[in-house]
């Protein structure tokens, strides 16, 4: 019976820990590009559709809403 309790609490702790990690990663804040810079980027993107592919680091500066 004690073995079952230990195993139960170990699994319970692991499940709670994994949920906490998942929640914290899901609610992490994303970067937000300022509006004037974002509008400039949109204008450049309209002229050159491969802009995001050519600049790898550019997409990491955008929030999900901006993408």
- pLDDT tens column, 30-65: 788 899 999 999 999 999 999 888 888 888 888 878
38 Cβ neighbours under 8 A, 6+ residues apart? 62, 66
Contact 31/61 with Cβ under 8 angstroms?
yes
Tell me, yes or no, if the pTM score tops 0.75.
no
Task: Name the pLDDT band for 22 (thresholds 50, 70, 90).
Answer: confident
pLDDT of 1: 54
**CA distance linking residue 23 with residue 31, whole number of Å:** 18
Task: Name the pLDDT band for 27 (thresholds 50, 70, 90).
Answer: low
pLDDT of 2: 65
């Amino acid at each position: 019976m004690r073995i079952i309790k230990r195993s139960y609490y170990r699994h319970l702790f692991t499940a709670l820990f994994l949920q906490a990690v998942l929640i914290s990663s899901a609610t992490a804040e994303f970067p937000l590009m300022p509006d004037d810079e974002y509008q400039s980027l949109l204008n450049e993107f309209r002229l050159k559709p491969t802009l995001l592919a050519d600049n790898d680091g550019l997409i990491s500066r955008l929030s999900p809403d901006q993408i």
